[in-house]
Amino acid sequence: MTDRPKSFEEFYYLQEDKIYDIDVVEEYVARNNGEIGKYEGNMYCPECREAILAFWRKTSKKRAHLKRIPSSKHRETCSYNYEYVSSKRVKEYVDSLTYNEIQDKLNSILNMLCKQHRPKAEMVDNSDGDNTQKQNPMLIVERKENADVLRVLRRKRLNAWIDKSDGEGFTVFYGKVKLGISKKAKINKDTGEPYTFYFLEIFTQNRQGEWKYRTNIYRGGIKDEIKKDVVYNIVIIGYLDFEYKPFTIRLANCNAIKFQETNKKLEETVAKAEE
């Protein structure tokens, strides 16, 4: 494990038992003469909800972010305790899995990162060190200095700010999205035969509730089955490519993506019950 600080783009707000984006705090601070007010001491790690977070304002070199207060600690099984896994190991790991195995892994990550969060009262402390990897799908084993150690996958919400400062290492991209399909055709230079390839288009929702084009993913000969105007939870293991604006996501391999229709009626019911 490590005490190396990690930054956060979302947080668990104790007073309302909800997960919020950092944008909410930025807007509050802007409206209240730079004061953090009601959020101070009430922002916690969005995963374990035990480590207290502090707000760091935007500068000319860094975007606004949240960091763990050094005197507070994450839960034992929280993935934020661990160093990031190397991109080389991520690629090796993904390629070693069968289609069903990688889909199971992605499904566990999707359930952890995308689904309606459980109230803190329902969370169970499963801090059995021997089973930490099984309890937290964001962790994988990496060989370091002749020993197996747990490392964590990087994560990034698809509707968050993304630019070159996020790097090009393998990352878990996730969030609620709408999807589209585009296709292109070319002529094979060797055979002279035409061939078709597809892109999965990703749309995310902005603060005004509008769905805007975000990026696409090259799918080769795979034409994903999607429904228009349906909201999906999605998880992707891949890396950012800035060759084409604004950016594209390159998959670790063709199986490293999973999307699932959200149960919108259920989520709306839960949201109303919480108001």
pLDDT at 9: 85
Can you tell me the mean pLDDT for 237-264?
93
pLDDT at 119: 54
With beta carbons less than 8 A apart as the criterion, state whether 43 and 26 touch.
no
Give the helix, strand, coil percentages of the chain, each rounded to 5. 25, 35, 40
Q: What is the pLDDT of residues 132-172, one digit of tens each?
A: 556 799 999 988 888 889 999 999 999 888 988 888 899 99
- The region of weakest confidence among 111-115, 129-133, 159-163 is 129-133
Which span out of 24-28, 71-75, 215-219 was modeled with the highest average pLDDT? 215-219
pLDDT over threshold 90, residue 88: yes
Regarding pTM above 0.95, the answer is no
Q: What is the mean pLDDT of the chain?
A: 86
Cis previous bond, 246, omega within 30: yes
Residue with tokens 């997960």: 19
Q: What is the DSSP letter of 130?
A: G
pLDDT at 86: 93
Can you tell me the mean pLDDT for 248-253?
97
pLDDT over threshold 70, residue 269: no
Strand residues in 206-269 grouped as ranges (E): 211-220, 232-241, 248-251, 257-261
**Residue 187: how many other CB atoms lie within 10 Å:** 10
- Selection from 150, 173, 157 nearest residue 81 by Cα: 150
Strand ordering across the sheet containing 65-68: 7-8, 65-68, 53-56
How are beta strands 139-144 and 171-187 bridged, if at all? Answer: unpaired
pLDDT over threshold 60, residue 212: yes
pLDDT at 190: 85
Task: Report the C-alpha gap between 62 and 65 in whole angstroms.
Answer: 8
pLDDT at 133: 58
